[in-house]
Amino acid sequence: MEKSADAFRTISEAATELDLPQHVLRFWETRFSQIKPLKRGGGRRYYRPDDLLLLKGIRHLLYDRGFTIKGVKKVLKDQGVRQVIAIGQTGAIEPVTVANADADMAALPFGSGEGSGLSQKDHKKLSGVLKDLLEMKRELDRARE
């Protein structure tokens, strides 16, 4: 029987899910103060769902993007835990979410601002397409897990 997405994970379950050895998770706890699993009797660690999302973000930055530990610490300090979680979910250093897609579209060189060459109608169409693509990417990411 598989645990629900909201269930806490032991260190072995977390390591399996992240495809990492357990000692790496213990090491990361010493390097990243933001990783704080719940500890029960005998020092047994339990990772919350948000802990796992943060670990995925850290793993992505270190292993997929080639950041150093110092670089990941800087991202955590400058951009915060939520940003690293978002990076882990999207794989993007500056993730675009459905919630902020309109603002991100306006910031693009072809946004709807004056001189952009796009009408308000075209901007809305592009924004809608971007939202659809982001939702599809989210579904694909869930299917891969």
Give the domain CATH number at 74.
1.10.1660.10
What phi, psi does 131 have (nearest 5°)? -60, -45
Are 50 and 115 in a shared domain? no
Q: Do 65 and 114 belong to one domain? A: no
Q: Do residues 6 and 40 lie in contact, with contact meaning Cβ atoms separated by under 8 Å?
A: no
Residues found in the chain = 145
Other residues' Cβ atoms within 10 Å of the Cβ of residue 40: 11
Shared domain for 58 and 101, answered yes or no, is no
How many domains does one find in the chain?
Answer: 2
Is residue 126 one of the residues assigned to a domain? yes
For 23-74, the pLDDT digits (tens) are 999 999 999 999 999 988 888 999 998 999 999 999 999 998 888 999 899 9
Taking only the tens place, the pLDDT of each residue in 79-96 is 889 988 888 777 665 543
Per-residue burial over 70-107, b if 16 or more Cβ lie within 10 Å, else e, is eebbebbeeeebebbbbbbbbeeeebbeeeebbebbee
**Residue 17 placed within a domain:** yes
pLDDT tier at 104 (50, 70, 90 boundaries)?
very low
| Parent domain of 71 | 1-80
